[in-house]
Amino acid sequence: MEAHYLDIWCELEGLALYWDCGAGDFSMCDDPERGAELVGLVGFMVLATLQELKKRDVLTPSNRIPNLGYILSIMICCGWNRGRELSDEYMDCVPWVYRVMDVAHEAGIVIAGARGYERVAEEIGSEEADGKTPELVKKWEKSVFSTKKQIALLQLDHHDDMTLPVAFIIGGGPRIGHAVAAAFVKDGYRVALGRRNLAASEGLPGVTPVAVDVSNPSSVETAFAEVEGSLGVPSVVVYNAAALTFPPEQGDPFSVPPDAFTRDTAVNVASGYAALHYATRAWKKTRQGGAGGVFIATGNVTPFYPNPFATTLGAGKAGLVHLIQIANQELKDGGDRFYFVSQVTEEGNPVRYEGVEAAAHGQVYSDIVKGGAGKSSWDVRFSVGKDGSIAYQKG
């Protein structure tokens, strides 16, 4: 399983604080060769971490790591100062600081905050800086660094920090499913994305694909067991699956074959019920006085605006609305929250398929979990302006 980027960052953050408090001095030794190896390995770890953050598109000024520039300033100061204590023959362990500063500058990251950083930055910037030769600087370029990546990261790709929250999205399509997953990854969640076609979601940063077939409600149980076993109990569950069979005879909403209605109902409401069942069982077992779980169903307004073309979808969503309502009625005292979320037009009407804004769903779901939306009702409706702005509407 791929590590979440915050797992990786915490490793570097811990090392920086350990070094900065002076405890790192005891890690050094009288053997300058060994000391140089340690300084060099730290450099590889810093650059490996930055490469991972860049690969996951979070090495940006607006990232969710508020102390990024501060931690980098600590590592640069420590690496520079300790490296300069060594004899000249071991100066090849130091030039990684130049590469770190270049990578941060390219990403727009401001490095500052560590004690003595201004002095160190001035020394590093001088033409006569120690180790600042083309040959040594080139050693720390990306092409060379990548060969050392596994050494520096050790086994971080398999590291699993069970303290990070988990979100489980059932119905991981390329539009809303992927957008919601990206939003929760950005919020610091480890995300499980449940769908039949796992290959279509492989490689998404911070996301673990999980096999689930929502046409078969029993597969939801298996998927929950897999998520809990590999990531932990999800504190956020999103049911994002839907199915629709159009009536073959125009003007006759009941021309849909009964077996098609049954199949769609399994997706639209039966597996939604299964998701509610296993989510609430898990939350009951793990609740220890903390915040409750959040269940979000991707909806639409067909339960409130009957559409003859959406016989199967509307009936299923109406059933899901009923489940969300009774969940809030009976379980809200335990701290759990349940929502039915629909994108609508600015007039409050249903949105056509081509008008669905996936990224907006991700933002709205994130707002709900954080408590910025859905404070007054389980029925959350939002519209998206031409400029991409989100407006919440009363249901």
CATH of the domain at 187: 3.40.50.720
- Does 187 lie in the same domain as 108? no
pLDDT score at 61: 82
Long-range contacts (CB closer than 8 Å, 24 or more residues apart) made by 305-310: 305/349, 305/350, 307/350, 308/247, 308/251, 308/253, 309/246, 309/247, 309/253, 310/244
pLDDT one-digit tens code per residue, 113-128: 888 888 888 888 775 5
pLDDT one-digit tens code per residue, 378-393: 999 999 998 889 999 8
- Does 332 lie in the same domain as 280? yes
- Does 103 lie in the same domain as 189? no
Assess whether pLDDT exceeds 50 at residue 280: yes
Q: For the whole model, what pTM was predicted?
A: 0.62
Q: Work out the average pLDDT over 252-265.
A: 95
188 vs 7: which has the higher pLDDT: 188
Assess whether pLDDT exceeds 90 at residue 144: no
Calculate helix-pair angle for 358-370, 176-186, nearest 10 degrees.
40
> Strand, coil or helix: what is 42?
helix
> Strand, coil or helix: what is 208?
strand
- Does 209 lie in the same domain as 91? no
- Does 129 lie in the same domain as 249? no
pLDDT score at 264: 94
pLDDT score at 26: 44
Assess whether pLDDT exceeds 70 at residue 54: yes
d(CA 261, CA 252) in angstroms, rounded, equals 14
- Does 300 lie in the same domain as 221? yes
Question: How many structural domains compose the chain?
Answer: 2
Q: Tell me if 243 sits within 8 A of 316, measured CB to CB.
A: yes
- Does 359 lie in the same domain as 270? yes
d(CA 358, CA 362) in angstroms, rounded, equals 7
pLDDT one-digit tens code per residue, 294-343: 999 999 999 998 889 999 999 999 999 999 999 999 998 888 999 999 99
> Strand, coil or helix: what is 390?
strand
- Does 134 lie in the same domain as 179? no
- Mean pLDDT of all residues belonging to the chain: 83
Among 133, 158, 183, which residue terminates a domain? 158
Q: Tell me if 180 sits within 8 A of 362, measured CB to CB.
A: yes
- Does 152 lie in the same domain as 171? no
Among 107, 132, 158, which residue terminates a domain? 158
d(CA 113, CA 63) in angstroms, rounded, equals 18
Amino acid making up residue 32: P
CA dihedral 304, 305, 307, 310 (to 10 degrees): -40
pLDDT one-digit tens code per residue, 76-133: 988 888 777 775 666 667 788 888 888 888 889 999 888 888 888 888 877 555 555 5
- Sheet bearing 337-343, strands edge to edge: 207-211, 190-195, 166-170, 236-239, 294-298, 337-343, 379-384, 390-393
Assess whether pLDDT exceeds 70 at residue 185: yes
Among 158, 184, 202, which residue terminates a domain? 158
- Torsions phi, psi for 117 (to 5 deg): -65, -35
pLDDT confidence bin for 36, thresholds 50/70/90: confident
Which class for 371: exposed (0-12), middle (13-18), buried (19 or more C-beta within 10 A)? exposed
Q: What is the DSSP letter of 2?
A: P
pLDDT score at 17: 81
Q: Which domain holds residue 125?
A: 5-158
Residue of 146, 9, 19, 173 lying closest to 81 (CA atoms): 19
pLDDT confidence bin for 163, thresholds 50/70/90: low
Q: Tell me if 282 sits within 8 A of 228, measured CB to CB.
A: yes
pLDDT confidence bin for 28, thresholds 50/70/90: very low
pLDDT one-digit tens code per residue, 341-359: 999 999 999 888 888 999 9
- Does 248 lie in the same domain as 130? no
- Does 257 lie in the same domain as 125? no
Calculate helix-pair angle for 117-125, 96-107, nearest 10 degrees.
100
- Does 310 lie in the same domain as 205? yes
28 vs 248: which has the higher pLDDT: 248
- Mean pLDDT is lowest, of 32-46, 223-237, 376-390, for 32-46
d(CA 177, CA 4) in angstroms, rounded, equals 18
